[in-house]
Amino acid sequence: MTTAKFTRRQVLATTSAGAIATMAGWPLTAFGSSFSVKDKLALTGGNPVRTADWPDWPIWDESAEKSIVDMYRSGKWYRAWGNYCQDFEKQYAELIGAKRCLATASGTTALMIALHAAGVDAGDEVLVSPYTFIATYNAVFAAKALPVFVDTDPETFLMDPGKIEERITDRTSAILPVHIYGLPCDMEAINSIAKNNGLKVIEDACQAWSAKYKGKNAGLWGDLGCFSFQNSKHLPAGEGGAVVGNDDHMMDLCTSYHNCGTRFGSIEGPSNYPVRGLNFRMQHVQALILQSQMKRFFSDAATREENARHLDGKLKDIPGIKPYKLVSGAEASAYHLYPFRYIKQEFNNIPRDKFLKAVQAEGIPLSNGYGPQNSDGLIEEALSSKGYKRIYGVKRLKEWREENVLPGNDQLCEESCTLYQSVLLGTRKDMDDIVNAITKVYENREQLLG
């Protein structure tokens, strides 16, 4: 399969939805700024805008099967025997423009490796975005470091560079910005604050393999960049990850750390195990799936980009719908998700979750974004652990709790709505279904009152 494939059943369902809509006078193709329609919402018993399915994820083809079976029959399943992981590393480095790439077991382990190589240690503080998948700060906790949240700019969904400096203490050792949903962070602003304060920068680019900022890919701006190849990501292999970087010594350290602390490159020592390390190695089967998935890279990215531009242009005209804003210098999001904000004041104060239910009932898989995870249980569990009390002291931990106030992030958590990346692999007509459904909900919002 090279493009999103629809079954015959799905095609028929699309046709019949169109027929029903035409009978109901629903102008599926006649969308424009003067568009206005009074119709019964699907949530209140009307006909949905759409009943067809959406593209599945992941998408694969038979071309990878022979190499996977050959590898299986060779018995060389582990990265020290055979070259599949090494080949993948070369291809990925080339693809995104990094000098070096280290394949890892997952994105979480990539972050743990990168933080270790950056020297982040027990007692350090790491400035991190709260609007992210929990793995970002779980990796900080794994280093026994303290994640200190920098507030989010609700317009960009990203770490607000203007809020970084107020969070720096004499224990801060690194900044961990997250290119969430594939939206590139303002890396020049972040790097200049890091430089002025002697901090390392580790990028969480787990959702952002093709995101571009000022001519260069996300993941290449900091000291090290981390990627994930978990099943939901753009380049999926079930599990998997990578650290990329241009500094040979740091990359050597990453390689050693991920391989039980063995000697590698510039890592010298009196023994074969001169440094600490764990086993975070990728398996060959992951590398082979990834090599095959990479063939879809550019065509999928182009489809997502084109569909996202179409949505950008249409959604912004619906009152109360505010698409993400790219930071200055950002050229392309990777669109792990397509995000926008829902401003309920424009929708007669209907709560976001009710809006989501109404759009979902129209046949559109719209979800909410991240919640206010800076108050998730795992954080209190870490802060009240024996180790954290011992390392940071009760006074710093109390201060941390008092400072854990993030109004920008709280606002975004209430407003954010997202479409998953494979939805963006659909057709132009699929995108118009999304716009039509949201418009229909807007025009008929009073049906959601009470």
Ligand X SMILES: *Cc1c(COP(=O)(O)O)cnc(C)c1O
- Positions touching ligand X (CB under 6 A) are 106-108, 132-133, 135-136, 178, 204, 206-207, 228, 230, 241
Least Å from the CB of residue 94 to ligand X? 22
Compare residues 101 and 135 and give the one whose CB is closer to ligand X: 135
The CB-nearest residue to ligand X is 107
Least Å from the CB of residue 41 to ligand X? 33
Least Å from the CB of residue 228 to ligand X? 3
Least Å from the CB of residue 226 to ligand X? 7
330-332, strands of its sheet edge to edge: 216-217, 212-213, 330-332
Of 232, 241, 179, residue with least CA distance to 204: 179
Q: How far apart are CA 332 and CA 96, in angstroms?
A: 14
Q: How far apart are CA 122 and CA 371, in angstroms?
A: 28
Q: Tell me how far the alpha carbon of residue 239 is from its chain's centroid.
A: 15
Least Å from the CB of residue 62 to ligand X? 26
Compare residues 43 and 101 and give the one whose CB is closer to ligand X: 101
Compare residues 10 and 138 and give the one whose CB is closer to ligand X: 138
Q: How far apart are CA 302 and CA 190, in angstroms?
A: 28
Compare residues 173 and 421 and give the one whose CB is closer to ligand X: 421
- 113: three-class secondary structure by DSSP: helix
Task: Name the DSSP class of 426.
Answer: S
Length of the chain: 450
Q: How far apart are CA 114 and CA 100, in angstroms?
A: 13
Least Å from the CB of residue 111 to ligand X? 6
Compare residues 113 and 146 and give the one whose CB is closer to ligand X: 113
Number of H helices, E strands in the chain: 14, 16
Beta strands 200-204 and 172-176 are parallel
For residues 102 and 255, the answer to whether their CB atoms sit within 8 Å is: yes
Compare residues 108 and 256 and give the one whose CB is closer to ligand X: 108
Least Å from the CB of residue 433 to ligand X? 27
Residues paired with residue 417 on neighbouring β-strands, in sequence order: 340, 368
- 220: three-class secondary structure by DSSP: coil
Compare residues 114 and 327 and give the one whose CB is closer to ligand X: 114
